[in-house]
Amino acid sequence: MGHIHNRASAKAVINQIMSQANGIGSSKTEAKSQSTLLGQNGQKISSKAHSIKSLQNLRSITTQYVNYIKEEHGNRVAKHINNETIKEFINHKLEQGNSQGTINTYISTLAKMSDNINSLGLNSTSRTEITAYRSELKANGNDLQKSHINRAYNNPQAIVNEMRDSPYFLSAQLAYEVGLRADDAIHSDKWTLNSDNTLHITGSKNGINYTTSALNNETAQRVRDAIENGYKVNYGEFNEALKEAVANCNENWTGIHGLRYSYAQEALSNGASRAELSLAMSHSRLEVLEVYLS
């Protein structure tokens, strides 16, 4: 059996996990009968991916997770493979606007990835804790089985103001003031400030480029300074800082994306058209925008 070493590159870690998980050509029924792993309903499960489709899906999500660690925590990815960074990554995918069904798929696939990581001797992740995260997400307002819910905060400006002395204040302000996604709000290398104080975003979700509504003058100046200084913050740390601010304001945590909901609903009530709002939030289809306005 192989072993993941702390100095292994991201590519090597991915390849080791996939080699361990490859069950193409082996019997799934036999693997399950011999397995000591149990699913959420107590049934025996296999740690292997027995079809090309499931193997490809596992490779895709494993690669995304390991590359997320590399970007957020540095090149020594092995030492950061654990339940907490898996939860960070799931939250990251949730904040990117992925559907509830997609998040469910991520959780199930990351649980299988965990089985194979433990088989490689790392023993830093837990299938049980990963799959139990569904219940935690649901308790925080993210129902992964049913219809979309309204995640807007009651007083988003108070939450942002609570972060005024935080290094993540600008990211929170941009998420609320012009509805930026988390990824777009933490990387100034994506930003170009236009003469009318609108913000052009390059390389957003699915490679989309778009232009926001206008920033107020104070925020625009902060953006100029941030661009000049190469502003970039850690997603996980931003997430935790915002969560603390939400708690201090006695609101229920609905994620970074809750600020994006708040922006959309306030912009509509202030006279923005759905078409304008859809473009300013980088959605090409109006029906995607509707979930923010419910």
- Asked if residue 167 and residue 135 are part of one domain, the reply reads no
- Give ∠ CA 163-165-171 in degrees, rounded to 5: 50
Question: What pLDDT digit, counting tens, does each position of 147-172 carry?
Answer: 456 788 999 999 999 999 999 999 99
Percent over 90 (pLDDT), the chain: 48
- Asked if residue 128 and residue 46 are part of one domain, the reply reads yes
pLDDT at 3: 76
Indicate the pLDDT class of residue 188, thresholds 50, 70 and 90: very high
Q: In the β-sheet with 198-201, what is the strand arrangement from edge to edge?
A: 191-193, 198-201, 210-214
Taking a C-beta distance cutoff of 8 angstroms, is the pair 41, 15 a contact?
Answer: no
In this structure, which amino acid lies at residue 47?
Answer: S
pLDDT at 55: 92
pLDDT at 47: 87
Taking a C-beta distance cutoff of 8 angstroms, is the pair 68, 80 a contact?
Answer: no
- Asked if residue 108 and residue 206 are part of one domain, the reply reads no
Taking a C-beta distance cutoff of 8 angstroms, is the pair 172, 161 a contact?
Answer: no
- Give ∠ CA 232-238-243 in degrees, rounded to 5: 165
- Asked if residue 232 and residue 184 are part of one domain, the reply reads yes
- Asked if residue 169 and residue 120 are part of one domain, the reply reads no
Residue 149 lies in a domain: no
Residue showing tokens 């959309």 = 264
Provide the H-helix boundaries in 22-120: 28-34, 52-73, 83-95, 100-119
The residue among 55 and 285 whose pLDDT is bigger is: 55
In this structure, which amino acid lies at residue 170?
Answer: L
Domain count, the chain: 2
pLDDT at 30: 87
The residue among 204 and 246 whose pLDDT is bigger is: 246
Residue 1 lies in a domain: no
- Asked if residue 270 and residue 213 are part of one domain, the reply reads yes
CATH code of the domain in which 277 resides: 1.10.443.10
- Asked if residue 122 and residue 167 are part of one domain, the reply reads no
- Asked if residue 217 and residue 164 are part of one domain, the reply reads yes
Mean pLDDT of 32-52: 83
Residue 74 lies in a domain: yes
- Asked if residue 96 and residue 161 are part of one domain, the reply reads no
The residue among 266 and 294 whose pLDDT is bigger is: 266
- Asked if residue 164 and residue 130 are part of one domain, the reply reads no
pLDDT at 147: 45
Residue 173 lies in a domain: yes
Statement: the pTM of the whole predicted model exceeds 0.75: no
- Asked if residue 274 and residue 168 are part of one domain, the reply reads yes
Give strand pairing partners of 210: 201
Q: Is the pLDDT of residue 241 over 60?
A: yes
Indicate the pLDDT class of residue 62, thresholds 50, 70 and 90: very high
- Asked if residue 214 and residue 99 are part of one domain, the reply reads no
Structural domain harbouring 44: 10-139
User: What's the chain's average pLDDT?
Assistant: 87
